Amino acid sequence: MRHGWMSVAVGALLALGGCAPAGGGGGGGGGEGGGEMPPVEDEFEPPAELVEGLITISVSMRPAYDLVAGLPRDFFAEGLYEDGSTRDLTADVRWSSSDPAVLAFDDTENPGRAMVHAARSGAVTVTADLGDVSGELVIGDGCDYPAFTSNIVTGATMPALEWELARRPDGSRGLFSLRDIYCGEAEGEVPSVFVFVLGANWCGACTHHMGELAREAAALREAGGQFVFVGVEGTDYSPSSTDEAVQTLAGAVGGAPVYIAGDGDTGGVISGSGAFTALPSVVVVRTRDMKVIADNASGAAGLDYFAVAADPDAGWENPPPPMIDSQCAPGQDEALEPNNTPDAPSVIGPGTIEGGVCDEHPDFYLVDIDGPWRLTLDFTHAVGNLDVYAWDADGDAPLRVDQRVVGSYGTVDGEAVEHAGPTLVRIGGFRYESAPYVLTVEAL
């Protein structure tokens, strides 16, 4: 049960002898001539066992990154008592905000939950009151991080994400806060750009790719850039914890100087931001203003990160076409070209097609079979790493069934996928790799 405690200054409480004021001037009930006073929740006093011996109240916010308009934020109150014991007081304190237009505690079903109604400008103070004792948390005290929304797209400000126990470039576990970095409060030299590489713990190709990038991490730091590997989804397809992301990448990354974090520790902000559209996805952030200067939609996966780190103001939202080392012989593209966009796929049924991913564009096919079918993609992984996905054209992302991606994305020769009914399929090179292939479709 949540209680509503009276919240007044300590001095006022002492002047009143620590008692709450009586309701109205005529005592309880509905005396004649005075009308009935409706019950006021704030006039109840907390139980003695909660306030007796209470010394301080500590207030915390989770997730710990800055406020995002339209998203809730959970606050927690912990009481410290004279005997050294602690107690969770989240459901017992009276919660208030210094600026309800920005942050308001209007969720009566979830104690400590506040809705963010607008972007913060200046500091907001959250207060937890219980009897004579108050605890405060000031959000945005001092340096003001640039205003942002929950969208992570080119031209937007990166949300002020924070991980309490990220794996840091020196291999230790500790705080990684974009706000601290922007405000000059973080330890060490600040890079010119962060290259966020977003993957999934169930995606073996993502882990392999991050391991390949990790080999360049030290050189990128010398050039002024910094890799941040984020496990957006765990092995169960829910937002990954940082612990799971670290465990997944430990073998591939080794001692490389990279950050590793999990989106679950942000409350799933990245997975809901529009940035996670492919495996992997890349977001490049310029640290001087925390602007997203490139994402997957603007070609971030094909950028020369060393060039970006050297000149983050060069206009990377319109990069040149990625450099492709084509592994196809002349004319080895399939005869069904052009089929490089989801709105112009090649329609195929049972049979075999010889072709190849020969440039920066993937190949799209519409498997026109009413019942179940299997698609097998034969290629040599050492020549180029190709992946195949059933594709959601509306979301421009891999198709999911019960949250699971329908596709094949391994690190060996060949891929195969099974599904049923007419389905759009995308075949592409992992980070613009190229290879010829033989595609076989069979009805099951």
Residues of the chain with CATH 2.60.120.380: 346-443
The DSSP result for 238-284, as a single string, is: SBPPHHHHHHHHHHHHTT-S-EEEEGGGGTSTTTTTT---SSSEEEE
Phi, psi (degrees; rounded to nearest 5) at 268 = 80, 25
13: Cβ–Cβ under 8 A, 6 or more apart, which residues? 131, 132
Q: Which CATH number fits domain 10-23+41-139: 3.30.70.1560, 2.60.40.1080, 3.50.50.60, 3.20.140.10?
A: 2.60.40.1080
Residues of the chain with CATH 3.40.30.10: 162-310
In the prediction, which pLDDT does 141 show? 63
The DSSP result for 80-98, as a single string, is: EETTS-EEE-TTTSEEEES
What separation in angstroms does the CA of 48 have from each of 53, 93, 131, 132, 378? 10, 13, 9, 12, 73
In the prediction, which pLDDT does 5 show? 32
The CA radius of gyration of the chain, in Å to the nearest whole number, is: 28
Cβ–Cβ under 8 Å, residues 247 and 215: no
Q: Which residue has the tokens 């005529």?
A: 26
Residues of the chain with CATH 2.60.40.1080: 10-23+41-139
Q: In whole angstroms, what separates CA 436 from the centre of its chain?
A: 35
What separation in angstroms does the CA of 441 have from each of 334, 363, 388, 412, 417? 15, 15, 13, 20, 10
Q: Which CATH number fits domain 346-443: 1.10.3720.10, 2.60.120.380, 3.40.718.10, 2.60.40.10?
A: 2.60.120.380
pTM above 0.85, yes or no: no
Q: What is the mean pLDDT of each run of 10 residues along the chain (444 residues)?
A: 31 32 36 42 72 92 73 90 92 92 87 83 86 88 79 93 95 94 87 96 87 93 97 94 96 96 93 86 96 90 91 84 83 82 94 92 95 96 91 85 82 91 93 90 96
Nearest alpha-carbon partner for 280 in 392, 388, 196? 196
Which CATH architecture is the domain 162-310 placed in?
Answer: 3-Layer(aba) Sandwich (3.40)
Nearest alpha-carbon partner for 282 in 197, 213, 408, 365? 197
DSSP assignment letter at 117? -
3-class DSSP assignment, residue 44? strand
In the prediction, which pLDDT does 37 show? 41
Angle subtended at Cα 295 by Cα 180 and Cα 73, rounded to the nearest 5 degrees: 45
